[in-house]
């Protein structure tokens, strides 16, 4: 029994050769992803905060939302992007911030796919107001958001792994 305990104890405290390097590598990947997603969301929120009227027109252009909530979405969504981006970079409620970012990305992917399937052209308004429309532009957006969602999910798993240690 004591041998078993000892072996378990040893296993938990044993430092595997190269594991320090692996931990550092994971931390670096985590930081890069946090900066990438955080900065992307902060950057993309800025023009929407400065010109909410133009962003509202873009939200209208998606032709999905009820007219009553278009302005409210145009007012709130950019700040959700900004606050979650800051939360991810600073580390304050980073898990929650990342959850919201992933949920938003899933929402964007759904919206873009929905409009692509029904052949509705729209201006995404992601990084600048008045981006070009078209099928290929929508496909590119879809790929971009899928990559970011993949990065977001991977980052959340990294957070989980770190919490378990």
Partner 1 sequence: MIFKRDIIGCFFLLIICVMLSFGVNALSPNGIALRGQWNPDQGVVMAGANKPHAVDVMQINNPFKVKRLLESGPAVVLDVRRPDIYDLGHIPGALNFPLDDFEEDEKALPSKITPEDEIIVYCAGVTCQDSHTFATRLVEMGFTHVAVYAGGFAEWEEMGFDVAVQGIDP
Contact footprint for partner 1 (CB under 8 A): 49-53, 56-57, 60-61, 67-68, 70-72, 74-76, 78-80, 82-84, 87, 93, 95-97, 99-100, 160
H-state helical runs in the chain: 2-13, 19-50, 52-61, 70-90, 94-117, 135-164
Q: How many residues does the chain have?
A: 165
CA distance 112 to 130: 16
Minimum Å distance from CB 105 to partner 1? 15
Orientation angle between helical segments 135-164 and 19-50, nearest 10 degrees: 130
Name the residue nearer to partner 1 (CB basis): 84 or 124. Answer: 84
Minimum Å distance from CB 71 to partner 1? 5
Minimum Å distance from CB 131 to partner 1? 15
Minimum Å distance from CB 133 to partner 1? 12
- Residue 131 in 3-state DSSP? coil
List the one residue out of 31, 33, 72 whose CA is nearest residue 55.
Answer: 72
Name the residue nearer to partner 1 (CB basis): 95 or 120. Answer: 95
CA distance 47 to 56: 12
Name the residue nearer to partner 1 (CB basis): 75 or 142. Answer: 75
Name the residue nearer to partner 1 (CB basis): 29 or 83. Answer: 83
């Amino acid at each position: 029994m004591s041998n078993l305990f000892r072996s378990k104890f040893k296993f938990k405290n044993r430092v595997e050769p190269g594991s320090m390097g692996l931990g550092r590598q994971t931390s670096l990947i985590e930081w890069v992803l946090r900066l990438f997603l955080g900065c992307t969301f902060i950057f993309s929120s800025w023009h929407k905060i400065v010109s909410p009227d133009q962003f509202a027109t873009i939200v209208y252009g998606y032709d999905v939302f009820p007219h009553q909530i278009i302005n409210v979405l145009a007012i709130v969504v950019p700040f959700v992007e900004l606050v979650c981006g800051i939360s991810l970079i600073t580390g304050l409620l980073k898990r929650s911030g990342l959850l919201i970012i992933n949920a938003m990305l899933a929402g964007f992917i759904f919206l873009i796919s929905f409009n692509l399937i029904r052949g509705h052209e729209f201006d995404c308004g992601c990084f600048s107001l008045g981006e070009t429309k078209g099928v290929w532009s929508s496909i590119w957006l879809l790929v971009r958001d899928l990559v970011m969602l993949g990065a977001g999910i991977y980052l959340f798993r990294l957070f989980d792994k770190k919490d378990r240690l």
